[in-house]
Chain A
Amino acid sequence: MTTILDVQGLTKTFEMHHLGQSLPAFEDLSFTLHAGEFLLLSGPNGVGKSTLLRTLYRSYLPVAGHLWFHSREGVIDMANAADIDVAHLRRTEIGFVTQFLNARPRVAAEDIVAEPMRLAGYDRQEALEQARHWLAAFGVKPDLWRAYPTTFSGGEQQKVNLARALILPQRMLLLDEPTASLDKGARAALVARLAELKAQGVAMIGVFHHPGDVAALIDREIPLKPKTPIEETADVAL
């Protein structure tokens, strides 16, 4: 099996300067993700599932440990890789799918969806055709394709977001509750697309509010356990 990501001793703590306090998120996590594998992060709310995903994407900086990503261009430790490399890998090999769309004013839905393909060098027409295909697949009506998603409902924005996030197959996909607030049709389309990508060898790691949605895809589960609570620094007298 081809290794995609090798996580070793990963630790994340938030240093809150204004509180003079450190908030531990998770500690000494190790696991390996292979091509075509689907890992589910499980555990109660607040246990650090989304924090872990963001750390894997390097939106959060880990304080210790390694994130060996087996890129097409070589193995690199994302935990301390140069920003330009992380930016490059996000464009070419690592995708992050959230439930939130970062819509920009005056940019049409189909252009937002086509953008990752255009950035990857595809010509405008081909990118737009693919964009329309995926907008249709996720159930966005054709009369909205030229409209600006800033005015869309939450559910419609999410469909645009998914189409954009999944238009280009990546080597690794990080999924942060992508099914939340989707209607049944869009959820089915999403699961079908994820299954297709998995069959193509895309490695995935995700957080799902209703893991039942993707039960058929899950290979392994990584249970995150609640940490011991932060030491009380002082009793607050009321």
Chain B
Amino acid sequence: MSALMKEAPRLVRTQPLMELSGLSKSYGDVRALDDVSARVYPGEVLGIVGESGSGKSTLLRMMNLEESPDTGSYRLDLPELPEDLFALDRFERRMLRARRIGIVYQNPHLGLLMKHSSSGNVAERLLVAGERRFAVLREKAQVALEASEFPIPRMDAPPIELSGGMQQRVQLAKAIALEPAVLLLDEPTTGLDVSVQALVLDTLKRLQQERRITMVLVSHDLGVIRTMADRVMVMRHGRVIEEGLADQVFQDPQHNYTQQLVHAKL
């Protein structure tokens, strides 16, 4: 099916915002990614599902330029960038991440300085991008925290004193502070209480609709993917085994593994 889709005639001439081609990566004998390609179009939410070890988080880390593949290329349709982003050095990657790519990790320790103020965590992103005026830093941090529906009276509390849901909102504020071209979400609600999870997803959905932020959402939770994604990619053993419109993948899954996954959920 995917072979057919790749050759499908096109009506809309929208260029993908993000295009990863032929990514492979091995760690010793373990093949983490095996010839994975992905396209993300402007304004859409691409959901990536798969069990632990399927390669979905490795793929996301490559989208965030934290890792490079053994082979493959990565293109972002933005001005002044090279054809293959993996050619960028560490400093250039850091600048690109700060300015154009936002990320929310499952584990807030990966994204935040837990003992610094929440507002300071958000401002740090702006500092890296070159903003130096204190008043501007503070104001922009507040705007981003408000957009993430974080309670402003607590903006100077360090994340370590906050609940899990609030920590994710700080990460989200940091990720959107500079209006990124793409927002990467790595299991952003995993481990949260169900009610808190619903509220965080709701904030994401609202942001997506109001700002048309392009998002890539990785989750093993089909419910989360179903709520958020326009298109879905299913990964297993480092390969993409199925991709399609979200409703199609959930209602008419083609691959044996996807059928098991969907039926197990229902």
- A-B interaction: yes
Tell me the complex Cα distance, A58–B252, Å: 10
Q: What is the distance, in angstroms, from A57's C-beta to the closest C-beta of chain B?
A: 8
Q: With A18-B263, A76-B11, A81-B8 in contact, do A86 and B245 touch (Cβ < 8 Å)? A: yes
Contact of B202 among A18, A58, A81, A106 (CB under 8 A): A106
A89 and B10 CA atoms in complex are apart in Å by 12
Residues in B neighbouring A14, C-beta threshold 8 A: 252
CA distance A91 to B9 in the complex (A): 19
Q: Which residues of A contact B8 (CB under 8 A)?
A: 80-82, 85
Residues of B within 8 Å of A59, CB to CB, are: 245, 247-248, 251-252
Which parts of A47-91 form the interface with B (CB within 8 Å)? 54, 58-61, 71, 73-74, 76-77, 80-89
Residues of chain B within 8 A of A58, CB atoms compared: 245, 248
Q: Is the CB of B5 within 8 A of A85?
A: no
Chain A interface size, under 10 / 10 to 19 / 20 to 34 / 35 or more: 20 to 34
Cross-chain contact A15 with B254 (CB below 8 angstroms): yes
Interface membership of B163, Cβ < 8 A: no
Q: Are B251 and A88 within 8 A (Cβ)?
A: no
CB of B244 within 8 Å of the partner chain: yes
Q: Is the CB of B11 within 8 A of A80?
A: no
A119 to B212 alpha-carbon distance, docked (Å): 10
What is the CA–CA distance of A61 and B230 in the complex, to the nearest angstrom?
16
Chain B residue total in the interface (Cβ 8 A): 32
User: Considering the chains assembled together, what is the distance between the CA atoms of A105 and B230 in angstroms?
Assistant: 18
Q: Flag A18-58 by CB within 8 Å of B: 1 or 0 each.
A: 10000000000000000000000000000000000010001
CB distance from A165 to the nearest CB of B (A): 15
Q: Report whether A80 and B4 are in contact in the complex, using a CB–CB cutoff of 8 Å.
A: yes
Give min CB distance, A215 to chain B, whole Å. 31
- Which residues of B have CB within 8 Å of A107? 202
Docked complex Cα distance between A106 and B199 (Å):
8
Instruction: Report the minimal beta-carbon distance from B204 to chain A, rounded to whole angstroms.
Output: 11
Which residues of chain A come closer than 8 Å to B11, judged between CB atoms? Answer: 71, 73-74, 76, 81-82, 85, 88-89
Q: Which of A60, A81, A82 contacts B251 (CB 8 A)?
A: A60
Contact A104 B251 (CB under 8 A): no
Cβ-based interface call for A16 (8 A): yes
- Complex contact B248–A84 (CB within 8 A): no
In contact, B4 and A84 (Cβ under 8 angstroms): no
**B52 contacts the other chain (Cβ, under 8 Å)?**
no
Contact A105/B251 with A58-B245, A61-B1, A115-B209 known, Cβ cut-off 8 Å: no
From A54, which residue of chain B is reached at the shortest CB distance?
Answer: B251
State whether the Cβ of B127 lies closer than 8 Å to any Cβ in chain A.
no
Give Cα A86 to B243, complex, Å.
14
Partner of B252 from A60, A89, A119 at Cβ < 8 Å = A60
Chain A: minimal CB distance from B40 (Å): 10
The answer to whether residues A82 and B10 also contact, given A15-B254, A61-B252 and a CB cut-off of 8 A, is: yes
- Bound form: Cα–Cα A12–B247 in Å: 17
| A74 vs B256: C-alpha distance when bound (angstroms) | 35
> Are B245 and A83 neighbours in the complex by a CB distance under 8 Å?
yes
Scan residues 6-33 of chain B and give those whose CB is less than 8 A from a CB of chain A.
8-12, 14
* Docked-complex contact A84 and B259, CB < 8 angstroms: no
How long is the Cα–Cα vector from A159 to B1 in the complex, in angstroms? 37
Query: Chain A's nearest CB lies how many Å from the CB of B42?
Result: 10
B44: interface (CB < 8 Å): yes
Q: Are B251 and A85 in contact (CB under 8 A)?
A: no
Per-residue CB proximity of B119-161 to A under 8 Å, as 1/0? 0000000000000000000000000000000000000000000
Instruction: Report chain A residues within 8 Å CB of B244.
Output: 61, 83
Q: Roughly how many angstroms separate A76 CA and B248 CA in the complex, as a whole number?
A: 19
- A84 to B198, Cβ gap below 8 A? no
CB < 8 Å: which of B12, B198, B199 contacts A88?
B12
Contact of A87 among B199, B231, B255, B259 (CB under 8 A): B231
- Residue A17 CB within 8 A of the other chain: yes
Say which residue of B10, B243, B247, B260 sits within 8 Å of A85 (CB atoms).
Answer: B10
A89 to B245, CA, bound (A): 13
Known: A85-B8, A87-B245, A88-B11. 16 other contacts (CB 8 A): A15-B254, A17-B255, A54-B251, A58-B248, A60-B251, A61-B248, A73-B11, A73-B12, A74-B11, A82-B5, A82-B10, A83-B244, A84-B12, A105-B198, A106-B199, A119-B209
Q: List, sorted by A's number, 6 A–B pairs whose CB atoms are closer than 8 Å.
A: A17-B260, A59-B251, A60-B252, A82-B10, A82-B11, A89-B11
